[in-house]
């Protein structure tokens, strides 16, 4: 199970591969730790020494400007050394196996791998393959999970709504292809919101989506009623097979969030988007830039959440290594 490989014997975070199986207390600890790091970004010198002397490798097998840059900033603010590995020009493109590459990186005394991969389960596989003293953080794998994105979204919600109890939250758009949506749903349910809804055409909803603990809606007018939080998703056209949508214009007419549709939710509802935004496809510019949008807050919170996860995982690794050393003595 993911929860078992992610945790130390005492229940602390060792890897961060998914929010699945993690307790409400641990997710809350991640949020509280991130809150303490927000102040670091407001200092003249934006650094703390928690990971001084540690080496973090950004191991991105698929492109991502924002996620990689926020992980890099997070690691540097923790005073770690950072290596950004461009996989497209690395030895793996020249025939070297993934196992060989990992062993070579381990031999360079790396302490943490931040992994982004197009294949679901890749981060879990790497966590099982590396030596025990290397922490793995999942920066997104296939359609499976994007746990740090989910947690920065949870932090943003808590900042604006105070708590999760009683909240009604909807995730709108391409649920079928979204690892972000899967992680958000698990985090929201674990943290105790009153209701999670998904709103999308049937072609963009998994057949068994209700099994994730959500209410299914195919009409915006029905799904947006009485909402506290609206999370819009990007259409992931790169993962779609033909025929799922008639056109982007028709999708925007039915499922794009504009001021008229936003008015169906509560007057103080907040609007979120994990990015990148396709304006005029899933959201109008006046909503994305409007007073109910907290999209830029999400970006800021991404650095604090990634600082929290990296520092907690490294602390968990220290505990594990100490216990292993004591057992051998």
Q: What is the pLDDT of residue 88?
A: 56
* Statement: residue 142 has pLDDT above 90: no
Give the burial class of 229: count Cβ atoms within 10 A of its Cβ; 0-12 exposed, 13-18 middle, 19 or more buried: buried
Q: What number does CATH give the domain 2-145+301-316?
A: 3.40.50.1370
CA dist 316 and 93 (Å) reads 33
Q: How confident is the model at residue 222 (pLDDT cuts 50, 70, 90)?
A: very high
**CATH number of this structure's domain 147-299, picked from the four choices 1.20.1090.10, 3.30.360.10, 3.90.1150.10, 3.40.50.1370:** 3.40.50.1370
Half-sphere exposure of 283 (CA within 13 A, CB side): 27
Of 38-42, 174-178, 308-312, give the lowest mean pLDDT range: 38-42
pLDDT score, position 299: 92
Across the chain, mean pLDDT equals 90
**Quick check: helix, strand or coil at residue 27?**
helix
Residue 68 reports pLDDT greater than 70: yes
Q: What is the pLDDT of residue 41?
A: 80
Comparing 43 with 307, the larger pLDDT belongs to 307
Higher pLDDT, 328 or 58: 58
Q: Rounded CA gap, 327 and 322, in Å?
A: 9
Angle between helical axes of 65-77 and 295-328 (0-180°, round to 10): 60
Mean pLDDT along residues 10-16: 94
Query: What pLDDT does residue 313 have?
Result: 96
Residue 95 has pLDDT above 70, yes or no: no
Q: How far apart are CA 292 and CA 66, in angstroms?
A: 22
Could you write out the DSSP letters of every residue in 249-298? HHHHHHH-B-HHHHTTS-TT-EEE--S---BTTTB-HHHHTSTTB-HHHH
- The pLDDT score that the predictor gives to residue 239 is 45
Q: How far is Cα 58 from Cα 114, in angstroms, rounded to an integer?
A: 5
Reported as a single tens digit per residue, the pLDDT across 224-243 is 999 999 999 998 755 444 44
Kindly indicate the confidence band of residue 287, based on its pLDDT and cuts at 50, 70 and 90: very high
Q: Is pLDDT at 80 greater than 90 in this prediction?
A: yes
- For 76, other C-beta atoms within 10 Å of its C-beta total 17
The CA distance from 71 to 116, in Å, is 11
Q: How far is CA 305 from CA 44, 97, 282, 300, 315, in A?
A: 20, 32, 26, 9, 15
Domain ranges of the chain: 2-145+301-316, 147-299
State mean pLDDT over 301-318.
93
Q: What CA dihedral angle connects 61, 62, 63 and 64, to 10 degrees? A: -90
Tell me the per-residue pLDDT of 247-276, one tens digit each, with 9 for 90 and over: 888 999 999 999 999 999 999 999 999 988
**CA-to-CA distance for 95 and 104, rounded, in angstroms?**
14
User: Is pLDDT above 80 for 96?
Assistant: no
- Confidence grade of residue 328 (pLDDT, cut at 50, 70, 90): very low
DSSP 239: G
C-beta neighbour count of 284 within 10 angstroms: 19
pLDDT of residue 73: 95
pLDDT of residue 44: 80
Each residue's pLDDT tens digit, 144-192: 999 999 999 999 999 999 999 999 999 999 999 899 999 999 999 999 9
């Amino acid at each position: 199970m993911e929860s078992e490989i992610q945790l130390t014997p005492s229940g602390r975070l060792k890897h961060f591969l998914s929010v699945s199986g993690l307790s409400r207390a641990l997710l809350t600890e991640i949020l509280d730790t991130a809150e303490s790091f927000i102040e670091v970004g407001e200092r003249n010198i934006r650094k703390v020494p928690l990971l001084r002397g540690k080496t973090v490798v950004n191991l991105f097998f698929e492109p991502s400007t924002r996620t990689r840059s926020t992980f890099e900033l997070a690691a540097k603010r923790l005073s770690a050394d950072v290596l950004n590995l461009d996989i497209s020009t690395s030895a793996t493109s020249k025939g070297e196996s993934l196992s060989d590459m990992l062993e070579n990186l381990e031999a360079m005394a790396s302490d943490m791998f931040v992994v982004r991969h197009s294949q679901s389960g890749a981060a879990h596989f790497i966590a099982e393959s590396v030596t025990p003293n290397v922490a793995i953080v999942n920066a997104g794998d296939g359609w499976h999970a994007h746990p740090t994105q989910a947690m920065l979204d949870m932090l943003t919600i808590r900042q604006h709504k105070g708590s999760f109890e009683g909240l009604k939250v909807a995730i709108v758009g391409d649920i079928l292809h979204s690892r972000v949506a899967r992680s958000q749903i698990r985090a929201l349910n674990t943290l105790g919101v009153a209701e999670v809804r998904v709103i999308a055409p049937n072609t963009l909803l998994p057949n068994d989506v209700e099994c994730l603990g959500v209410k299914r809606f195919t009409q915006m007018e029905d799904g947006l009623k009485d909402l506290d939080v609206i999370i819009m998703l990007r259409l992931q056209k790169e993962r779609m097979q033909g025929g799922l949508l008639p056109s982007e214009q028709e999708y925007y007419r039915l499922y794009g969030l504009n001021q008229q549709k936003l008015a169906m939710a509560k007057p103080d509802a907040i609007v979120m988007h994990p990015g990148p935004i396709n304006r005029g496809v899933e959201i109008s510019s006046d909503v994305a830039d409007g007073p109910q949008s907290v999209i830029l807050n999400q970006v800021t919170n991404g650095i604090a959440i990634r600082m929290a996860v990296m520092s907690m995982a490294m602390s968990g690794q220290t505990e594990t290594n100490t216990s292993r050393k004591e057992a051998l003595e």
